[in-house]
Structure 1
Amino acid sequence: MQDQTPTYEEVAAAASGLHDNGQPVTVEAVRDALGAGSPNVIHKHLATWRTNNVPPPEPPKADIPEPLVAALADWARQFAEQSGAGNRDKLAQAESDLDALARSGEMLEAERDDLQARLNSANALVAELSEQIERLNVELRDAREVAANALVGKAKDQLAIDGKDRQLADLRAQLERSVASAAADSDARLAAEMELVGAATARDNYASELKALRSQLEALNADRTALRAEVDGLRTRRA
Structure 2
Amino acid sequence: MADQDITYDEVAAAAAGLQGDGQPVTLEAVRAVVGNGSPNAVYKHLAAWRASNSKPVEPPPATLPESLVADLAAWARQFAHDAGAAEREALAQSDADRDALLAAGDALEAERESLRVELADRDETIERLNAELRNARQVAMDALVSKAKDQLAIDGKEAQLTALRAEIERNVAAQAAESDRRLAAEMELVGATTARSALEAENADLRAQLQAARKR
Give the TM-score range, shorter chain. 0.5 to 0.7
Cα displacement string for residues 147-192 of structure 1 (whole angstroms, at most 9, x for unaligned residues): 3323432453x48xxxxxxxxxxxxxxxxxxxxxxxxxxxxxxxxx
Partner amino acid, structure 1, of 2:63: D
Whole-angstrom CA distance in 1 between matches of 2:49 and 2:39: 15
Equivalent-residue separation in structure 2 for 1:29 and 1:154 (angstroms):
85
- The 1-side partners of 2:102 and 2:50 are apart by 21
Does 1:3 pair with 2:6? no
Q: Which residue of 2 aligns with 1:93?
A: 93
Aligned residue number for residue 17 of structure 1: 17
Match of residue 112 from structure 2: 112
Moved more, 102-111 or 69-78: 69-78
Structure label with greater radius of gyration: 1
How many angstroms apart in 2 are the aligned matches of 1:3 and 1:39?
10
Structure 1 segments, 4+ long, off by >4 Å, are: none
1:63 CA drift (Å):
3.0
Equivalents in 2 of 1:143, 1:35: separation in Å? 63
Contact 1:26/1:93 (8 A) holds in 2: yes
CA distance in 1: counterparts of 2:147 and 2:13, whole angstroms: 76
Indicate the RMSD between aligned Cα atoms, in angstroms.
2.1
**1:131 alignment partner in structure 2:** 131
Deviations 1:86-108 (A, max 9, x none): 11111110111111012111211
- In 2, distance between residues paired with 1:93 and 1:142? 74
CA deviations 1:186-230 (Å, max 9, x no partner) are xxxxxxxxxxxxxxxxxxxxxxxxxxxxxxxxxxxxxxxxxxxxx
The answer to whether the 8 A contact 1:56-1:86 is kept is no
SS of match in other structure, 2:58:
coil
1:46 maps to what in 2?
46
Aligned residue in 2 for 1:32:
32
Which residue of structure 2 aligns with residue 176 of structure 1? none
Classify the secondary structure of the residue corresponding to 2:84.
Answer: helix
Q: Which has the higher contact order (CA 8 A, sep 6+)?
A: 2
Name the aligned partner's letter for residue 59 of structure 1: P
**Equivalent residue for 2:179?**
none
- The residue number in structure 1 matching 2:55 is 55
Query: Deviations 1:45-92 (Å, cap 9, x if unpaired)?
Result: 111111112424321112335x24743322222121111111111111
Distance 2:117 2:151 in 1: 51
Residue segments in structure 2 that go unaligned for 5+ positions in a row: 159-216
Query: What's the secondary structure of 1:4's corresponding residue?
Result: coil
Give unmatched runs, 5+ long, in structure 1: 160-239
User: 1:18: Cα distance to partner?
Assistant: 1.5
One-letter amino acid of the counterpart of residue 73, structure 2 = A
